Amino acid sequence: MHEVSTDLLVDLPGSYSTSQLLLDRLARGGQAPVYTVKRGNAWIEVSAAGYVETVRSVAKSLIDAGVRPGDSVAIMSGTRYEWAVAEQAIWFAGAVSVPIYETSSAHQVEWILRDSRARHAFAENESRAAVVRAAAAMLDAPVTVWTFDAVPSADDDGSPAAVDTASSIDTVPSADTVPSAGLAEMAAAGRASGVTDAQVELARASRGLADPATVVYTSGTTGRPKGCVMTHANFCLVAANLALHLPQVVGPSTSNLMFLPLAHVLARAVQHACLHAGTTVSHSQGSATLMEDLAAVQPTFLLAVPRIFEKIRAGALAKAEAAGKGKLFVQAEAVAVAVSKARDTRARGERVRRSPVLALKHLAFDRLVYPKLRAVLGGHVRYTVSGASALNPELTHFFRGAGLSLLEGYGLTETTAPATVNLPGNTRVGSVGIPIPGTTVRIAKDGEILVKGIGVFAGYHNNPEATAQAFEDGFFKTGDLGSLDRDGFLTITGRKKDLLVTASGKNVAPGPLEEIVRASRLVSHAMVVGEGRPFVGALVTLDLEEVGRWARSKGLPALTAEQAAVHPAVLAEVQEAVDAANATVSAAEGIRKFMVLAHDFTEESGHLTPSLKLKRMAVLETHAAQIERLYTR
């Protein structure tokens, strides 16, 4: 099969916009919760009515500050409730949001401000605001900056202003007590500004489906980031159609804890689908509180990247080993995988002989082991959605067999994230699902995945040449390689630009190999190398936290990063993962040698994008000497 489409389920009028998603939610029930917000140790419900009132008030401040329809307004912050308020306020003012990752440098921010022409910005706190101001100084243009958190005055103790958290979870608090202090002050200023509701409505209604809603700058793995222009149609149509496409996942009785960066389009696309569908969204601001937040919120579905699921699985195994139940966990994992694989085989129309023994074992583990795994995610998660990068099929089978349906999807920034997704009742493990409604996926002659549909962006901001090069016959050229099966399920086979050609002329796709190696509990990242070389090699980094747990379970002494990188037992574990990867390819494509590094690839080191993807060129440049040693006899 070379092309597959899924029919559009719902269309929208040309005057519709992202702000209308919120107003429609309000019309369906003003007191129903839209968000829950963490204040101290309490989680406070925010009704649709309270949320809209706050959004309008902040929009009045924006308009009073001179923001006009079509203007760009930046947001530099981690994931939090105020992010959602700020973006909706930008849209209510008729403006365009420009997200900036909280880890961006002043030079990166300067480029985004310059290219987007943003002269107003929200910053999470004074530290982020200082980066924006430094960028503005390089830009030599005034930029107004508002902070979510209160700016400490010279005569206080540096603490943010107190926020009333005494309201019951069943009470809708007043609009000025839910946002953090800085944003609450901005909302109060908006209410006192003299800007009327009618003025806000005029600005809000000036935008329609064809207008830009946001400009999202790519991670910049090579060269300067390009600004991807997403229209109101992209967000609205994706949200409205996903709600009908995945009713078991998003709907009035569902809840989500969002912890992926809202600067990334995936998190925002899902957040707006939740807004439309009636899902209640909460935000977790970092790994330090994630487990605590999961236990408190008890979401029904989660959105995550593969590394999160790898960490959960590794942590569960380590906990079992510490309790002397490591072998039991391994047995339970094998049973879960076997049950899921049998289910997958049946879904493909093939016959599977039922095993009463396997069924009994699965029933026993579903009482003894699997509930503990589900409890890690809060105990109420029914579905988990994975995106951003490839997921190891064995991991998918494990979670599904343990009672946590893991739905893998596929998309890019340029497709407003989800272009395909597996469905609860229609899943093929190892694939990334079928096209979402209103989307067509085509496989070009060279194997490249081409996409056309409701999520495909309008083009690159201020870059018509790059826009023209990105399309072919109306389809966006993803740069990824893949195949479609007879039922229309897409499988990713590699990245066109990442293909290695060894000295013998063998084409090697590094992604699938890296994915399997990374599945090892000790491995944090793996990068396959070998362009123009006599054989395929790999650089491997370790998850030192997991190495510590593993070493204790093996009776080994504590290992430093340097010791772990050369320890025979560690190298043997990594070799097992490499052998598993090599078993999936020919000998010429397999990893012949690897090197374990004494440091990890991180966003701070410049080797990962904010969405945790490897910056291959950065790794190649900074680790040229290590790579050379792989090929030194």
Task: Work out the pLDDT band at 162, boundaries 50, 70, 90.
Answer: very low
Task: Work out the pLDDT band at 270, boundaries 50, 70, 90.
Answer: very high
Domain holding 511: CATH number?
3.30.300.30
State the total domains in the chain.
2
> Do 479 and 422 meet the contact criterion of CB atoms below 8 Å apart?
no
Task: Work out the pLDDT band at 632, boundaries 50, 70, 90.
Answer: confident
For the chain, what is the mean pLDDT? 87
d(CA 362, CA 313): 18
> Do 223 and 615 meet the contact criterion of CB atoms below 8 Å apart?
no
- Examine the pLDDT at 158 and tell me if it is beyond 60: no
Task: Work out the pLDDT band at 231, boundaries 50, 70, 90.
Answer: very high
pLDDT tens figures, 530-568: 887 888 999 999 998 889 888 888 888 888 989 999 999
Q: What is the SS3 assignment for 186? A: helix
- Examine the pLDDT at 438 and tell me if it is beyond 80: yes
427 φ/ψ angles, rounded to the nearest 5 degrees: -125, 140
Mean pLDDT of 440-455: 95
Pick the closest to residue 620 from 503, 479, 498 (CA basis). Answer: 498
Q: In terms of pLDDT, which residue wins out, 372 or 500?
A: 372
Mean pLDDT of 567-578: 92
- Among the three residues 186, 207, 228, which one is the final residue of a domain in this structure? 207
- Tokens 């605001």: give the residue: 129
How many CA atoms are closer than 13 Å to the CA of 548, on its beta-carbon side?
A: 7
> Do 342 and 362 meet the contact criterion of CB atoms below 8 Å apart?
no
> Do 516 and 580 meet the contact criterion of CB atoms below 8 Å apart?
yes
Q: Given CA atoms 373, 378, 379, 382 in this order, what sign does their dihedral have?
A: negative
591 φ/ψ angles, rounded to the nearest 5 degrees: -80, 115
Domain holding 113: CATH number?
3.40.50.980
Strand partners, 66: none
- Examine the pLDDT at 589 and tell me if it is beyond 90: no
Most confident of 5-19, 144-158, 301-315: 5-19
How big is the chain by its Cα radius of gyration, in Å? 25
- Taking phi over 0 as left and psi of -120 to 50 as alpha, with beta for the rest, 158 belongs to left
In a domain, 157, yes or no: yes
pLDDT tens figures, 335-388: 999 999 998 888 887 888 888 999 999 999 999 889 988 888 888 999 988 876
Pick the closest to residue 79 from 626, 559, 610 (CA basis). Answer: 610
In a domain, 568, yes or no: yes
pLDDT tens figures, 297-306: 999 999 887 8
Per-residue pLDDT at 196: 96
Q: Can you spell out the DSSP letters for 335-352?
A: HHHHHHHHHHHHHTT---
In a domain, 457, yes or no: no
Per-residue pLDDT at 201: 97
pLDDT tens figures, 404-434: 888 999 999 999 989 999 999 888 988 999 9
Pick the closest to residue 229 from 410, 456, 490 (CA basis). Answer: 456
Task: Work out the pLDDT band at 611, boundaries 50, 70, 90.
Answer: low
d(CA 570, CA 547): 8
Most confident of 165-169, 206-210, 276-280, 601-605: 206-210
Residues making up the chain, counted from first to last = 633
- Examine the pLDDT at 179 and tell me if it is beyond 90: no
Q: Which of 128-132, 472-476, 603-607, 619-623 has the lowest mean pLDDT?
A: 603-607
- Examine the pLDDT at 287 and tell me if it is beyond 80: no
In a domain, 606, yes or no: yes
At 187, list the tokens. Answer: 């909302």
Q: In terms of pLDDT, which residue wins out, 124 or 521?
A: 124
Q: What is the SS3 assignment for 606? A: coil
- Among the three residues 207, 225, 247, which one is the final residue of a domain in this structure? 207
State which residues form the domain around 172. 18-207
At 394, list the tokens. Answer: 């064995």
- Among the three residues 168, 183, 207, which one is the final residue of a domain in this structure? 207
The two most distant CA atoms of the chain are separated, in Å, by: 76
pLDDT tens figures, 293-347: 999 999 999 988 787 888 888 888 888 888 888 889 999 999 999 999 998 888 8
pLDDT tens figures, 72-84: 999 999 999 999 9
Per-residue pLDDT at 171: 29
In a domain, 83, yes or no: yes
> Do 360 and 366 meet the contact criterion of CB atoms below 8 Å apart?
no
d(CA 178, CA 180): 6
> Do 454 and 241 meet the contact criterion of CB atoms below 8 Å apart?
yes
Name the DSSP class of 329.
H
Per-residue pLDDT at 185: 93
Per-residue pLDDT at 219: 62
- Examine the pLDDT at 175 and tell me if it is beyond 50: no
pTM: 0.82
Burial class (CB in 10 A: 0-12, 13-18, 19+), 217: buried
In a domain, 293, yes or no: no
Per-residue pLDDT at 546: 87
Burial class (CB in 10 A: 0-12, 13-18, 19+), 319: middle
Task: Work out the pLDDT band at 184, boundaries 50, 70, 90.
Answer: very high
Mean pLDDT of 99-121: 92
Mean pLDDT of 482-488: 92
Q: What is the SS3 assignment for 181? A: helix
d(CA 24, CA 113): 32
In a domain, 272, yes or no: no
Per-residue pLDDT at 606: 81
In a domain, 537, yes or no: yes
- Examine the pLDDT at 218 and tell me if it is beyond 90: no
d(CA 309, CA 371): 16
Task: Work out the pLDDT band at 174, boundaries 50, 70, 90.
Answer: very low
Per-residue pLDDT at 621: 84
